[in-house]
Structure 1
């Protein structure tokens, strides 16, 4: 047993926590339905995150004053996660949670391809083949849903693309910024971007962006969205700090299990055969990519 084993174990437990509680945020957003604008739900989600984490980071001495370049990167990360969240919440109004998350899970394959294009990471033919299998699995999930709800089923794909770019930026920034500070700045940046949009569209009649005053039930659900999102993303931030990404990544597929359970318990959603098959393809291909990466990490370096 190595000295890092307790840290890695804690990282794994935090990742399990993220995967099991994150679907509760999606369920809360879905329960709001079309009673509130999607932009309003997203604003509450990031506003609560900023309100909790900014004072915490300031009190603990983790906060710093970002320069112009870093501020621009925080705004870009905020825009990406804002668009990703808004698209996903909009999709949840028409799709079962598990279906939407299954489509979203092509994100690791998009991230793999972007890592090769933008970061110069080596990608062999086996990983390209695994990515192709994952995308085929997504088609099995998308096809029956497309016939039922139309192009809205593509919104989780937009979420996956935005989140992959978000993760690329996070990789570059995480080495020098405390996880709590990064999440605090992310929440603040997203809120600064969405608040003026809601102000401009107030009373416009554009459903996704026209805010309205929530009732008591909707206020409770908005609070749940914000609190669960904050807790889950703090979990994943510290998990990635404690354990290698290649160890943690497969655990995230527990999110499909949690989403399926909540979808059935709360909304009575059951996965059909094409969706189950497509989800199995996505998970299998994803696990192959992560196992392959771990083997390559363990391969001894050639002698100079």
Structure 2
């Protein structure tokens, strides 16, 4: 582990790209296991299992790195906020997976970069030109092409991936602030701890009030394996993501995130025999194109804003 960490500290773009591709390929596995598990247990229980396992699996390397020292009350509050947002995101997304096809849910979720761009302009006062705002509008149009037939099929549940995307966009805004001073491993660990606390509280609430989506159910042996798969794959994907972003610039890695729609579609076909129809494919293509344009435009503007090196 230490040798990988030493390598990943360099600005090694090929290594970062490799880690990112692996992370993107593993990420849909989380959703596959979640979709299998949510057939017999509530979404809240899937989320709770994921965060407990994430915290447990990350505790040894975090202790080895001595990364839990010196966390102030303000930073811990931000960790708690991040954990809460992750619970909202996963709860919304997993609840959707019970009734919606995997590729459709992930395609709608990928309006997240579009939402993040808009929120950055509102709360961080980032300059967003008309081109990117237009791309955001086009991206939402693509999402509507996916949502509209899904809404007919499953009702308002089709909107939950957008709530999940909104929660993740806010999560990333908070993460930008925390990441300036925090070890990335401890950030993932605290996200698991606080996620488990909030998800556990929801399960207690669900048991007391008989709320189906968060009411705990005793899982059978097969479901336990699905829950284990969810937690392990989520931890692996998050660790790969940490190393990817430590080894290569975010602007280089961001477009690779859209490979997840492709891999999710493949898994949806192989595991659940589900493929999007023509209208949904058009919506997915529009979402990907608008997201890639926003990433490209942001990268171009950042390069233009860089100071010109003095002539020698």
TM-score, normalization by structure 1: 0.95
Q: Extract unaligned runs of 5+ from structure 1.
A: none
| Residues in 2 aligned to 1:45 and 1:76: alpha-carbon distance in whole angstroms | 17
Distance 2:133 2:203 in 1: 41
Question: 2:274 matched to 1:274?
Answer: no
Aligned residues: 301
- In structure 2, the partner of 1:55 is 60
Alpha carbon RMSD of aligned pairs, Å?
1.7
The residue aligned with 1:293 is 298
CA distance in 1, matches of 2:117, 2:247: 22
1:145-198 superposed Cα distances (whole Å, 9 cap, x missing partner): 001100000000000100000000111111211111100000001111121221
Q: Give 1:117's match in structure 2, choosing from 106, 119, 122.
A: 122
TM-superposition CA deviations, 1:12-65 (whole Å, max 9, x none):
111111111100110011112331111111000000000111232012222224
Q: Deviations over 1:204-254 (max 9, x none)?
A: 432111112111111111000000001101111222222222111110000
Paired with 1:127 and 1:200, the residues of 2 have a C-alpha distance of 42
Q: What is the rounded CA distance, in whole Å, between the counterparts of 1:274 and 1:289 in structure 2?
A: 23
Corresponding residue to 2:216 among 190, 211, 220: 211
Of 92, 106, 117, the residue aligned with 1:101 is 106
The answer as to whether partners of 2:47 and 2:90 remain within 8 angstroms in 1 is yes
Displacement of 1:118 in angstroms is: 1.3
Q: Matches of residues 241-280 of structure 1 in structure 2 within 5 Å? A: 241-280=246-285
Could you tell me which residue of structure 1 aligns to residue 32 of structure 2? 27
Q: Which runs of 4+ in 1 moved over 3 A?
A: 300-303
Specify the alignment match of 1:9 in structure 2.
14
| Change beyond 3 A, Cα 1:88–1:207 | same
2: distance between equivalents of 1:232 and 1:300? 33
In the alignment, which residue of structure 2 is the partner of 1:198?
Answer: 203
**Matched residue SS, 2:12:** helix
> Please, what TM-score do these two structures have when normalized by structure 2?
0.92
1:220 is matched with which residue: 225, 238, 243?
225
How far apart are the structure 2 equivalents of 1:142 and 1:173? 33
